[in-house]
Amino acid sequence: MCTAQFAVARSVGPPRLRRLDRVSVYLDHAATTPMLPGAVAVLTDQLARTGNPSSLHTSGRAARRVVEESREQLAASLGARPSEVLWTSGGTEADNLAIKGLFWARRSHDQDRRRILVSAVEHHAVLDPAFWMAEHAGAELVLLPVDGDGVVLVDALRDELEAHGDQAALISVMWANNEVGALQPVADVVALAHQHGIPVHADAVQAVGQVPVDFGASGLDAMTVSAHKVGGPGGAGALLARRGLELIPVQHGGGQERGVRSGTLDAPLVASFAEAVREAVDAMPTSPERIGALRDALVAGVLEMVPDARLRGPADASRRLPANAHFTFPGCEGDSLLYLLDSAGVEASTGSACQAGVPRPSHVLLAMGIDEDEARGALRFSLGHTSSADDVRTLLEVLPGVVERARAAGMAGVR
């Protein structure tokens, strides 16, 4: 059945070498997405100006004004108050500040609150600080289990809180998973946590611009956002921290950002960041609807072309990010798929990469109960504001040949 379809598909001639500057089909927007033109304009305009926002003279005040207007704009886009915005260097720093800062603050008041509760499918920017705190700072790490779709099991959290609620320092559950796109039950988590007086942090890096995110309405105590995932520049992010939430600083210095996050503020970056978020939020819900329709076509096409491919994450489109499609391809290795697609001009991701660039079976898929062999054949396609129906069409043209070849290579590895 597969063979007949592969026969009519365009043959993939890896590595038909392409020039590095050739335009490719970019289906890795969850890694980073092209900057929005408005964000580029703001950035380049601001880069030409000088002035340290902390300086007291005219140039400094001008830069500070840019920072504060950006703060107000970002807060307005995300349902927060301006004073709740803490600028950071990106999502990872914001996650670290939330995990470490909350833990130390809570524990300083109550030595018994040592447990850090995080979902098993968190990004490494949350997982690794949590593991680190367990190894080096006396924390106890509790990984909250997920179901087969990658959604946190609220009942498991309830049981944990009933048993050990008075020992919990904080809970961190992401708004939406970056690999399989599963939307998480943030409202349920917040409701349960607040019954026990436990602050909740959510990494909303993937959610902003794809689903409505209102920090104030969510009841969250802290939330991470990142600029480059929504069409802003790299190197900018923010932790939204509810007024009155105590955070012990991780980074010490000049006392910027309420003394919680020292470091010279970068007016061009934060202005461009705020502009990108504003554009992304203004484009709701039209843009996510358009992208969601493309994603649905992509999913349907992949399952038709490669019948044994399995969609991972929630099958119900309303329960996952509109731009996310994630599959496992039996008998294939993710790095073979990635290489073959890349050489055919299609850029995708295996979902997670380690420092040296080696794809490993993803902790997210393993937490969902997928075995290691299946997890090796994972591939994530993520769409974005530049995606078109042509992109999906090109992917579907090359994919059958790619999968066939990767499967042959997978067999070659088994000797």
- Count of CB atoms situated within 10 Å of the CB of 372: 11
Number of residues forming the site for other proteins (CB under 8 A)? 28
Smallest gap from Cβ 18 to other proteins, in A, equals 8
Q: Which of 354, 356, 412, 414 is catalytic?
A: 354
Nearest to 313 by CA among 207, 145, 120, 180: 180
List the one residue from 8, 17, 48, 56 that touches other proteins (CB under 8 A). 17
List the one residue from 10, 15, 37, 83 that touches other proteins (CB under 8 A). 15
Active site residue 332: no
400 sits near other proteins (criterion: CB under 8 A)? no
Smallest gap from Cβ 315 to other proteins, in A, equals 30
Strand-strand pairing, 168-172 and 115-119 = parallel
List of E strands, 71-199? 85-88, 115-119, 140-144, 168-172
- Count of CB atoms situated within 10 Å of the CB of 415: 4
130 sits near other proteins (criterion: CB under 8 A)? no
Smallest gap from Cβ 123 to other proteins, in A, equals 18
49 sits near other proteins (criterion: CB under 8 A)? no
56 sits near other proteins (criterion: CB under 8 A)? no
* Cis check: omega of the bond before 285, within 30 degrees of 0: yes
Sign of CA dihedral 66, 72, 75, 77: negative
Range in contact with other proteins (rule: CB under 8 A) among 52-60, 142-150, 362-370, 405-413: 405-413
Smallest gap from Cβ 408 to other proteins, in A, equals 5
Specify burial of residue 196 (Cβ count, 10 A radius: 0-12, 13-18, 19+): middle
Beta strands across the sheet bearing 378-382: 310-311, 324-328, 378-382
Range in contact with other proteins (rule: CB under 8 A) among 25-33, 137-145, 363-371, 401-409: 401-409
DSSP of 222-274:
EEEEESTTTTS-TT-EEEEE-TT-----SB-SS-TGGGTB-S---HHHHHHHH
Residue pair 203/95 in contact by the 8 Å Cβ criterion:
yes
Tokens of 309: 């491919």
State which residue, 155 or 372, has the beta carbon closest to other proteins.
Answer: 372
Angle at 239 between CA 81 and CA 46, to 5 degrees: 80
Range in contact with other proteins (rule: CB under 8 A) among 14-22, 96-104, 161-169, 321-329: 14-22
State which residue, 184 or 352, has the beta carbon closest to other proteins.
Answer: 352
CA distance 342 to 348: 8
- Count of CB atoms situated within 10 Å of the CB of 163: 9
State which residue, 291 or 337, has the beta carbon closest to other proteins.
Answer: 337
Footprint of other proteins on residues 335-374 (CB under 8 A)?
Answer: 335-336, 338-340, 342-343, 355-360
State which residue, 13 or 253, has the beta carbon closest to other proteins.
Answer: 13
List the one residue from 10, 16, 252, 258 that touches other proteins (CB under 8 A). 16
- Looking at the DSSP assignment, which residues form a beta bridge with residue 116? 141, 170
48 sits near other proteins (criterion: CB under 8 A)? no
Smallest gap from Cβ 355 to other proteins, in A, equals 6
Smallest gap from Cβ 399 to other proteins, in A, equals 15
Nearest to 174 by CA among 229, 234, 236: 229
Sign of CA dihedral 10, 15, 19, 24: positive
Q: Quick one: DSSP state of residue 375? A: H
Smallest gap from Cβ 379 to other proteins, in A, equals 15
State which residue, 244 or 413, has the beta carbon closest to other proteins.
Answer: 413
Footprint of other proteins on residues 307-336 (CB under 8 A)?
Answer: 335-336
Smallest gap from Cβ 410 to other proteins, in A, equals 8
State which residue, 99 or 406, has the beta carbon closest to other proteins.
Answer: 406
Which residues contact other proteins by CB under 8 A?
12-17, 20, 335-336, 338-340, 342-343, 355-360, 405-406, 408-409, 411-413, 415
Catalytic positions are 354
